[in-house]
Structure 1
Amino acid sequence: MEAGVKAYRGWLLPLVALGAWWLASEYGWSRSGLWVSPQQVLATAIHEVASGHLWVALGASLARDLSGFAIGAGLGLALGCVLGLSALGNRLLGPSFNTFKQVSLFAWIPLISVWFGLGDVAKVVFLSLAALVPVVVNTADGLRNVPLPLLEVARVYGYSRWQSLTLVRLPAALPSIFTGLYLGLIYSWLATIGAEYLLVSGEGIGNTLIDGSEHFRMDLVLFGMLVIGTVGWLLNSLARLAERRLQRLYGTF
């Protein structure tokens, strides 16, 4: 019983905030034209879902997000392995990468917009950069910081370099690698909204927020924010589930 109560404690603050919002709307605590009621947001949500506008915008955003994440994560895993496994590679590429990661992500937008325009290609490039850095950092750190006793055991048993990599280094580095992939997925989703907001072209949930703000429709803005938060929560949950499944699967080898 107590465990069940603890599981629902996280709902307390959202429910209190929702109740306060409803009371403020019901009793007219604010006369601002920008104040909207929960009923207005719900009506907007129903309209966006029924008309198909939500699915078009969300589909475009998720397509960009997953494309950018796949490219950034793939390059990040490759570069992270080079930095984590090769001392020469770390000496040659490490200083340049450390300088690169100090540049703010949004500082790349002017350059990306000049090179790739304002369309989907520019947005996917931007999202790839968002996913790249955390994947590289965590992959390299995980491979570089494998406990020495494990490497000593591999050396005693006469493991080849390939066996040492697949049976010792990768299993030991998996938690760090998964952390990088998880962060890359979340960062790329957050960057999706930023890219759509700053590189204004085409469909997307970020463009829904822009339309709402330009027309002073706070119901549309709040609906877009709720969708963004819900999708982020779902991506977080799916990433954690995939991490647990893959760790169990790898542990059976």
Structure 2
Amino acid sequence: MNGPPRTSFDGAELAAVAPLAPSERSRWRGLVLPVAAIALWWLLSSLNLVNSALLVSPQKVLTTAAEQITSGRLWRALSASLAREATGFLIGTSAGLLLGALLGLSPRFNRIVGPSFNTFKQISLFAWIPLISVWFGLGDVAKVVFLSLAALVPVVVNTCDGIRTTPPGLLEVAKVYGYTRWQTVSQVVLPAALPAIFTGFYLALIYSWLATIGAEYLLVAGRGIGNTLIEGSEHFQMDLVIFGMFVIGLVGWLMNASARAVERMLARRTGRV
């Protein structure tokens, strides 16, 4: 005699019949616009619908990319830019973490320094370039100072906010257990503020990379991927300009993906997911 009809599927059957998860569908949807843009670019260039001097063909860009890679020019330019990015990021985040912690932990320090910092962060980053160029010249030191400023502000803001928004219940528990000031900060406040601090680091990484390109474009001395764009525009080599833009976007995407991967790893280790 047959048993009662089944009203559910097991895991293997569900995996076989279930559609793609929303995250997987959205991942593929994100490729629609880039693929469509490249197809339109190829069509316009192949049909000569746009002046070839203004919009070069994809084949020309690929040829230029191969030349830049095989000659080593890409690696020299990119390594110089990434070295400046790493130096400025480390300096800016270290100073930002210290300043943000002081603003969040010390009400007196916040009253004295907080208003000045709030005014400082309203000044556009690129407004500092004339002053930086006068004080530090146009070389790598000036660029690193500029990148450090780009990384500083988001780390300060997020570190301070993360510390000041520690749940009061956690502080009450620490008080009940007789934690010292240092124990409360190291074992309660900083772990609770870690997501906000990491957000500041993530924003600092992205902002400092964008500032790297801006600094190399405006402070033109030295080698870098930003100078590759300048070289292409000065010699009217649109293939070199487009190639440089692709490289900048790809590096930014890799930084974003790496930061997200580190965030997920830290979340698993701290038990937040």
TM-score, shorter chain, exceeding 0.5 = yes
Partner SS for 1:2 = coil
What displacement does 1:168 show? 1.1
Instruction: Name which one, 1 or 2, has greater alpha-carbon Rg.
Output: 2
Percent of paired sites with the same residue: 67
- Residue 2 of structure 1 pairs with residue 17 of structure 2: no
- Residue 62 of structure 1 pairs with residue 85 of structure 2: no
Partner SS for 1:22 = helix
Distance, in Å, in 2 between the alignment partners of 1:229 and 1:247 is 27
Is the 1:130–1:191 Cα contact (8 Å) retained in structure 2? yes
Q: Quick check: 235-244 or 136-145, which moved more?
A: 235-244
Equivalence map 1:137-148=2 (5 Å)? 137-148=157-168
Tell me the equivalent position of 2:11: none
Once the two structures are superposed, residues 142-193 of structure 1 have per-residue CA deviations (whole angstroms, 9 ceiling, x without a partner) of 0011111111111111111122112211111111100000000100000000
Structure 2: unaligned runs, 5 residues or longer: 1-18
Is the 1:34–1:217 Cα contact (8 Å) retained in structure 2? no
Which of 76, 82, 99 lines up with 2:102 in the alignment? 82
Tell me the equivalent position of 2:146: 126
Assess, with a 3 A threshold, how the Cα gap between structure 1 residues 99 and 174 changes in structure 2: closer, same or farther: same
Tell me the equivalent position of 2:8: none
What displacement does 1:249 show? 3.6
- Residue 47 of structure 1 pairs with residue 67 of structure 2: yes
Higher relative contact order, structure no. (Cα contacts within 8 Å, ≥ 6 residues apart)? 1
Equivalence map 1:110-189=2 (5 Å)? 110-189=130-209
Distance, in Å, in 1 between the alignment partners of 2:240 and 2:61 is 7
Partner SS for 1:99 = helix
Tell me the equivalent position of 1:228: 248
Tell me the equivalent position of 2:14: none
Report the RMSD for the aligned CA atoms in angstroms.
1.3
Distance, in Å, in 1 between the alignment partners of 2:51 and 2:221 is 35
Distance, in Å, in 2 between the alignment partners of 1:98 and 1:6 is 38
What displacement does 1:32 show? 4.6
What displacement does 1:251 show? 4.8
Structure 1: unaligned runs, 5 residues or longer: none
TM-score (norm 1): 0.96
Tell me the equivalent position of 1:201: 221
- Residue 25 of structure 1 pairs with residue 58 of structure 2: no
Distance, in Å, in 1 between the alignment partners of 2:106 and 2:42 is 59
Relative to total residues, which structure has the larger helix share, 1 or 2? Answer: 1
Once the two structures are superposed, residues 70-116 of structure 1 have per-residue CA deviations (whole angstroms, 9 ceiling, x without a partner) of 00000000000000000011011111111111111001001100110
Runs of 4+ that moved beyond 6 A: none
Is the 1:79–1:136 Cα contact (8 Å) retained in structure 2? yes
Distance, in Å, in 1 between the alignment partners of 2:25 and 2:146 is 42
Q: Quick check: 61-70 or 33-42, which moved more?
A: 33-42
Partner SS for 2:31 = helix
Aligned letter for 1:139?
A: T
State the number of aligned residues: 252
Assess, with a 3 A threshold, how the Cα gap between structure 1 residues 108 and 230 changes in structure 2: closer, same or farther: same
What displacement does 1:127 show? 0.2
Distance, in Å, in 1 between the alignment partners of 2:124 and 2:136 is 19
Is the 1:81–1:139 Cα contact (8 Å) retained in structure 2? yes
Tell me the equivalent position of 1:107: 127
Aligned letter for 2:20?
A: E
